[in-house]
Structure 1
Amino acid sequence: MDLNTVTAIRDPRVPGQWLPGDAWLAGGTYLFSEPQPRLRRLVDLSRFGWPAVTRQADGSLELAATCTIAELSRFAAGSGLPVARLVEQCCRAFLASFKIWNMATIGGNLCNALPAGPMISLTTALDGVCLLRAQDGTERRVAVADFVTGAGMKDLADGELLRSVTLPAVAPHQRTAFRQTSLYGLGRSGALLIGTRGAGFTLTVTASTRRPFRFTFPTVPDAAGLRAALGAIDDEDWFDDIHGLPAWRRHMTFRLAEEIRSELA
């Protein structure tokens, strides 16, 4: 879609004032999908040339905000890491064409903060931490689980930039279990749950809820213990839209959570 209110594209490497009507441009798959009448300028993040995935000296992985779904999939396939299968499962949860895969970015998926965002699911489950950079250059770090605060809502100030998401060194080596369901064969995720097992057991609930929920246990709980933990999700936190009623999403979450618990037990 043409954005006929946009009058300029700015290079972020060149000093300039952040103005009302500015927006960060990564892949643009959301920006160009519908009218954006408030926008006047786009600030093109691709000019930074950030490497898509960086292995840090301590074994952690830094995923650039501009890393595309295709780049992440290729990295995982050639990495030899146990987490590669989970990465591919989350990439496939987009149900997107190759054109979207080659343009959509991790950062865009997180910053849209949609409940069905599979990169939110992946990075929350792997205990990812967002690096945020303000206009004055100051930086802060926020866990992905806390970065997304609701449907379409995130902990991001005006003009603040999501630079990257870092996954801790232990994350790529854990056992994982993935479950996703939709009302339709090729529909948007109505519930997407991920279990991880390393030193303990963690269950991440997304898509069925307005924000990510991450439950950690010292060991795999019994069925009653897991159900009790999931019971802490308030009624208003279950998402409600055309892709699933809250009661159905809640039912499927409890069902898929038990499947994951049994698989990783």
Structure 2
Amino acid sequence: MDLDTVTSLRPAGSRDDLRLAPGEGFLAGGTWLFSEHQDHLTGLVDLTTLGWEPWTSTVDGVAIASTCTIAQLLGLTDVQGARPALFRSCAEAFLMSAKIWRTATVGGNVCLALPAGAMISLLTALDAEALVWTPDGGERREGVVDLVAGVQSTTLAPGEVVRSFLVRHEALAAAAVFRRASLTSLGRSAAVVIARRDGDGLVLSITASTPRPHVLRFPHLPAAAELSEALDPISWYDDPHGAPDWREAVTRHLAAEACQELGA
């Protein structure tokens, strides 16, 4: 789609280029940006020209650049201890072509903050931490589960940019179980549940069925009653891809199934 209000495109070459002029916004992959009218924008600043490596190993874990594409993300499975099945499952949850995989970015999906964002599902399940660059030249860190505050709502202030997402080695190497439900076989995710081992305990992430991501932590494999009680306070999302009561029922079923499989 042509963005007929956009009259300028600036390729960013350094952090100084990320200072937005009035009417400007950031461009990563653009697969969603160019799918709808963006009447509030008159200019774009291209982040992909910064030349960030898709991902780099660090002492603490792996830093995934916000401009890393979905296709590049699958290369992360070459890292020792990574779980290829979980990355592949989340990538396939997009239900998009390989062409879009080569363009859509991890950071774009997270910052768009749609409930069905598959990278939100992946990164919250792995306790990923976002490194955010602030317009004054500083930086801050925030868990992805908190960064995504609601439907198309994040905690990012105007002019802030997500530089990368840190996934720690322990989470990357942990055993995990992925479960997804949709109203149709090729429909948008209506519920995504990922269970991950955390030492002797268990981490359970809930996305797609809720307006914002939720992460539940248990010191041990939860019994049915304990799991049900932990899910009780959650509010459920309502849109054409699933009614709240159905989403709740499906999520509860998937959560019990994932916990049972991981325990086995």
Would you call these one fold, judging by a TM-score over 0.5? yes
Query: How many Å apart are 1:52 and its aligned residue?
Result: 0.3
Which string of whole-angstrom CA distances, capped at 9 and with x for unpartnered residues, describes residues 99-142 of structure 1? 11010000000000000001000000000001111112110111
Which string of whole-angstrom CA distances, capped at 9 and with x for unpartnered residues, describes residues 30-84 of structure 1? 11111111111110101110000111133x01000000000011332x3353422
- The residue correspondences of 1:93-172 to structure 2 (distance < 5 A) are 93-172=93-172
Aligned amino acid, residue 131 of structure 2: L
Aligned amino acid, residue 49 of structure 1: G
Q: Which residue in the other structure is 1:5 paired with?
A: 5
Query: How many Å apart are 1:146 and its aligned residue?
Result: 0.2
The 1-side partners of 2:168 and 2:126 are apart by 8
SS at match of 2:94: coil
Aligned amino acid, residue 107 of structure 1: G
Q: Is 1:82–1:175's contact at 8 Å kept on the other side of the alignment?
A: no
Q: Is 2:76–2:82's contact at 8 Å kept on the other side of the alignment?
A: no
The 1-side partners of 2:76 and 2:220 are apart by 30
- The residue correspondences of 1:106-255 to structure 2 (distance < 5 A) are 106-199=106-199, 200-233=201-234, 237-255=235-253
The 2-side partners of 1:18 and 1:211 are apart by 27
The 1-side partners of 2:81 and 2:95 are apart by 24
Runs of 4+ in 1 over 6 A off after TM superposition: none
The 2-side partners of 1:172 and 1:84 are apart by 10
Which string of whole-angstrom CA distances, capped at 9 and with x for unpartnered residues, describes residues 226-259 of structure 1? 11101121xxx21100000000000001000100
Please tell me whether residue 44 in structure 1 is matched to residue 57 in structure 2: no
- The residue correspondences of 1:44-63 to structure 2 (distance < 5 A) are 44-58=46-60, 60-63=61-64
SS at match of 1:170: helix
TM-score normalised per structure 1: 0.95
- The residue correspondences of 1:11-90 to structure 2 (distance < 5 A) are 11-13=11-13, 15=16, 17-58=19-60, 60-76=61-77, 78-90=78-90
The 2-side partners of 1:176 and 1:50 are apart by 29
Q: Is 2:8–2:44's contact at 8 Å kept on the other side of the alignment?
A: yes
TM-score normalised per structure 2: 0.95
Any unmatched runs of 5+ in structure 2? none
Q: Is 1:86–1:176's contact at 8 Å kept on the other side of the alignment?
A: yes
Aligned amino acid, residue 62 of structure 2: L
Aligned-pair RMSD on alpha carbons? 1.2
Work out the percentage of aligned pairs sharing the same amino acid: 47
Aligned amino acid, residue 136 of structure 1: D
The 2-side partners of 1:194 and 1:208 are apart by 13
When structure 1 is superposed on structure 2, of 246-255 and 131-140 the one drifting more is 131-140
Any unmatched runs of 5+ in structure 1? none
